[in-house]
C-alpha cells in the first residue's frame, strides 16, 4: 500500500513536470514574451532592460534550468503585469476556487446521485423520463449560456442575486449552480446506468427473495455496489470542474484561479500561466490518486499495486 | 424518439449552416446604426439586431456555418491523427508506443478546455489556430480508445489466422484490424463533435479563438454581456442555437453508440 502511494506520487511529480516543460517550450516557441507583453511603442532600450532584468537574455538551456530550479521550490518568477511573485498570486486566488468547486461538487452529488437512483428504480416510469429529459438538456446546455440566462432572470429582472463578484452566500448561488449543472447531468446518467447494472445481479434477487424491504435493497445492497463507477467519474469530473471553473469564474467575476488564468493568458503574463498550470495539474493528479485509493475502501476486491 | 429528435435537429443545423448565405435576410457583417438594438420582430429583422445594427438572424445562421466547420475539421483531424497513432501504438508494442501513451496520460491529466485555451493563447487566435488547438488537445481520446480496441482485436482468431497465412503487417493492420475498430472511432467522433463545438464557443466567449466581427456564437455571447440589461435577445438566440446543436449531436452520438458499440465509455 505504501509502495503504491509512493510510486503514484512519483508519477504525479513526473506528470506535473512534463506539463510544465510542455508549456515552457510552447511559450518560448511562440515568440519573445517581453515583446508580446510590452506595448507597441516601447523603446528598444527599455525592452532590453526588461529582458535583462527577467533573465530572458540568457541562453535557452540556462533559462530552462533556472525555471526548473525555481519550479521545484514553487518559485515561478515575477508576474509581468503585477510585478509580484506569481505563485503568491495563484495561492491568493486558490481559496475562492476551492470554495466554488467544493460547493458545486457537493451540489452535484446531492442532486445527481438521488436523481440517478430514482431514475433507475423507476425505470421507464414517468420519473425516469423526466430525469432523462433533465439530464439530456443539462448536458447540452453550455455553462456560460446558462450563466447569462440566470443573470438575466435573477439579477436583471428579479433583482434577487448579485451579477458577480465574491461576498456573501448570495454571490455563491449562481456560480455554483452553473458549475454544477453540467456535471450533475453526467453524474446522474452514470448513476442511473450503474444502479441498473447492479439491480440485474443475482444478489439483488436474493436480497429481495429473502424478504428485505426495498429501502434496504436499494440503500444497502445496490448503492454500495454501484459506487465504483460513480466514484471514478467523480474523480474525473473533479478535474473537469477545474476547467469549468475557468468559464464560470469569468462570467460571474469570481476572483479565483480560473479567472486569473484567463487574464494571465490574455495579458501574456506567462509566469502566472506557468504557476497556474502547475497548480491545476497538481490538483488534478492528486484528486485522481485519492479516487484510486477510495476504490480499495469501496471494493476490497480491488488490489492496488 | 431520441434518435429522430437527434437526426432532425442535426439536419436542421446542417441545413442552416449550408444554406446560411441564402436563408439569411441580410449580410451578417453589415452595420446599420439607426437600426441598432431592435427587439425580435422588428421590420426586416425577425430576431432583432445587435448593438451595431447587424441582423441577429443572419449572424446566428452564419454562426452555425462556422460552428459546424470548426467542429467538423477538428473531428476529422483528431480522428485521423489520434486514430492512426492509436492503431499503430496498439499494433506495435515497442517503446515508441509506450512513450506515446505516456504523452496521452499527461495530456489527459489536464482539463480539456483549459488545455485547448492555453494552446490557443500561445499559438495565436483566429479560425485556423482554434481548429489546431482543439485538435492538439483532443486527439488523445481516440489514441487511447483505439489502442485499447486494437490490443483486443489483434488477439482474435481471424487476425491470428491472417497473420499465419503470411499477410503483411500493413495489410493486416488496415484490412483486418482497422475495419473492426472503425465503429469505435465513429462513436468517439460523434460524441466528441458536440464537445468540440461547445469548447470552441467557450474559448471564443473567453476572448480567445474566433475574433469579432466574425459571427461565432461564443464571441456573440461574450459581446451580449454588455447589453444584458437592454437586449436579452443578443444572449438568448446564439446560446439557444448552440444548445440545440449540442443537443442534436449528443442525441445522435448516443444513438450511434447504442447501435454500434454499447460497451464503449468515453
B225 interfacial to chain A (CB closer than 8 Å) = yes
Residue ranges of the alpha helices (H) in chain B? 2-23, 56-91, 95-108, 112-123, 127-153, 157-164, 169-171, 178-205, 217-224, 233-260
Q: How far is it, in rounded angstroms, from Cα A218 to Cα B149?
A: 34
ipTM of the complex: 0.85
Q: Which residues contact A132 (CB under 8 A, 6 or more apart)?
A: A119
Lowest-pLDDT choice from A101-105, A172-176, A237-241: A237-241
Closest chain A C-alpha to B98 CA, distance in angstroms: 15
Determine the 3-state secondary structure of B232 from DSSP.
coil
Nearest CA in chain A to B207: A266
* Model pTM score: 0.87
Which one-letter DSSP state was computed for residue B21?
A: H
Tell me which residue has cell 503574463: A269
**Residue A123 has which C-alpha cell?**
425505470
Contact B132, B206 (CB under 8 A): no
Closest chain B C-alpha to A210 CA, distance in angstroms: 32
Beta strands in B115-210 (DSSP E): none
Shortest CB distance from A265 goes to which of B117, B225, B242? B117
Shortest CB distance from B114 goes to which of A143, A151, A243? A243
Query: Helix axis angle, A86-121 relative to A270-298, nearest 10°?
Result: 40
Closest chain A C-alpha to B124 CA, distance in angstroms: 8
Chain B residues touching A261 at Cβ < 8 A: 114
A141 interfacial to chain B (CB closer than 8 Å) = yes
Mean pLDDT in residue range B184-213:
90
Chain A residues touching B247 at Cβ < 8 A: 136-137, 140
Split at pLDDT 50, 70, 90, the class of A31 is: low
Shortest CB distance from B118 goes to which of A23, A141, A145? A23
* Category of A34 on φ-ψ map: left (φ > 0), alpha (ψ -120 to 50) or beta: alpha
Closest chain A C-alpha to B34 CA, distance in angstroms: 26
Beta bridge partners of A78: A85
Split at pLDDT 50, 70, 90, the class of A39 is: low
Chain B residues touching A138 at Cβ < 8 A: none
A242-A245-A250 Cα angle (round to 5) = 145
Split at pLDDT 50, 70, 90, the class of B159 is: confident
Neighbours of B21 (CB within 10 A): 12
The reported pLDDT for the residue numbered B151 is 87
A-to-B residue pairs, Cβ atoms closer than 8 angstroms? 115
Mean pLDDT in residue range A229-244:
75
Amino acid at each position: 500500500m505504501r509502495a503504491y502511494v509512493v510510486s503514484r506520487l512519483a508519477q504525479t511529480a513526473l506528470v506535473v513536470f512534463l506539463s510544465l516543460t510542455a508549456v515552457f517550450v510552447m511559450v518560448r516557441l511562440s515568440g519573445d514574451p517581453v515583446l508580446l507583453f510590452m506595448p507597441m511603442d516601447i523603446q528598444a532600450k527599455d525592452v532590453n532592460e526588461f529582458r535583462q532584468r527577467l533573465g530572458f537574455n540568457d541562453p535557452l538551456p540556462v533559462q530552462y534550468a533556472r525555471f526548473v530550479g525555481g519550479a521545484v521550490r514553487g518559485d515561478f518568477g515575477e508576474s509581468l503585469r503585477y510585478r509580484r511573485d506569481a505563485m503568491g498570486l495563484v495561492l491568493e486566488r486558490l481559496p475562492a476556487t476551492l470554495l466554488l468547486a467544493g460547493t458545486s461538487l457537493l451540489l452535484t452529488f446531492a442532486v445527481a446521485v438521488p436523481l440517478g437512483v430514482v431514475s433507475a428504480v423507476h425505470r421507464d416510469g414517468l420519473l425516469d423520463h423526466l430525469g432523462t429529459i433533465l439530464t439530456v438538456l443539462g448536458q447540452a446546455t453550455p455553462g456560460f449560456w446558462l450563466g447569462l440566462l440566470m443573470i438575466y432572470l435573477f439579477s436583471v429582472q428579479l433583482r434577487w442575486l448579485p451579477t458577480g463578484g465574491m461576498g456573501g452566500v448570495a454571490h455563491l448561488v449562481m456560480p455554483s449552480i452553473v458549475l454544477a449543472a453540467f456535471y450533475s447531468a453526467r453524474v446522474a446518467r452514470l448513476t442511473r446506468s450503474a444502479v441498473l447494472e447492479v439491480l440485474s445481479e443475482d444478489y439483488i434477487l436474493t436480497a429481495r427473495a429473502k424478504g428485505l424491504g426495498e429501502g434496504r435493497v436499494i440503500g444497502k445492497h445496490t448503492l454500495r455496489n454501484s459506487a465504483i463507477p460513480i466514484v471514478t467519474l467523480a474523480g474525473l469530473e473533479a478535474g473537469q470542474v477545474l476547467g469549468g471553473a475557468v468559464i464560470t469564474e469569468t462570467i460571474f467575476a469570481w476572483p479565483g484561479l480560473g479567472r486569473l488564468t484567463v487574464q494571465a493568458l490574455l495579458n501574456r503574463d506567462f509566469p502566472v500561466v506557468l504557476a497556474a498550470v502547475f497548480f491545476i495539474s497538481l490538483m488534478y493528479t492528486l484528486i485522481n490518486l485519492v479516487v484510486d485509493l477510495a476504490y480499495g475502501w469501496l471494493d476490497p476486491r480491488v488490489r492496488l499495486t | 424518439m431520441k434518435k429522430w429528435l437527434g437526426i432532425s435537429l442535426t439536419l436542421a443545423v446542417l441545413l442552416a449552416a449550408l444554406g446560411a448565405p441564402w436563408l439569411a435576410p441580410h449580410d451578417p457583417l453589415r452595420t446599420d446604426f439607426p437600426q441598432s438594438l431592435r427587439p425580435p420582430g422588428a421590420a426586416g429583422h425577425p430576431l432583432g439586431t445587435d448593438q451595431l445594427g447587424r441582423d441577429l438572424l443572419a449572424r446566428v445562421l452564419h454562426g452555425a456555418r462556422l460552428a459546424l466547420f470548426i467542429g467538423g475539421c477538428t473531428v476529422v483531424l483528431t480522428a485521423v491523427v489520434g486514430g492512426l497513432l492509436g492503431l499503430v501504438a496498439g499494433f506495435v508494442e515497442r517503446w515508441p508506443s509506450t512513450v506515446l501513451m505516456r504523452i496521452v496520460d499527461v495530456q489527459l491529466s489536464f482539463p480539456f478546455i483549459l488545455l485547448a485555451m492555453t494552446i490557443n493563447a500561445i499559438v495565436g487566435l483566429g479560425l485556423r489556430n482554434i481548429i489546431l488547438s482543439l485538435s492538439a488537445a483532443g486527439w488523445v481520446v481516440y489514441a487511447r480508445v483505439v489502442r485499447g480496441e486494437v490490443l483486443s482485436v489483434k488477439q482474435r482468431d481471424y487476425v491470428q489466422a491472417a497473420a499465419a497465412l503470411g499477410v503483411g503487417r500493413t495489410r493486416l493492420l488496415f484490412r483486418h484490424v482497422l475495419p473492426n475498430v472503425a465503429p469505435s472511432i465513429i462513436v468517439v467522433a460523434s460524441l466528441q463533435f458536440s464537445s468540440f463545438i461547445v469548447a470552441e464557443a467557450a474559448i471564443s466567449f473567453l476572448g480567445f479563438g474566433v475574433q469579432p466581427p466574425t459571427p461565432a456564437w461564443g464571441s456573440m455571447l461574450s459581446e451580449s454581456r454588455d447589453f444584458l440589461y437592454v437586449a436579452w435577445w443578443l444572449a438568448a438566440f446564439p446560446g439557444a442555437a448552440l444548445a440545440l446543436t449540442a443537443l442534436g449531436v449528443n442525441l445522435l452520438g448516443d444513438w450511434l453508440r447504442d447501435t454500434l458499440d454499447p460497451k464503449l465509455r468515453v
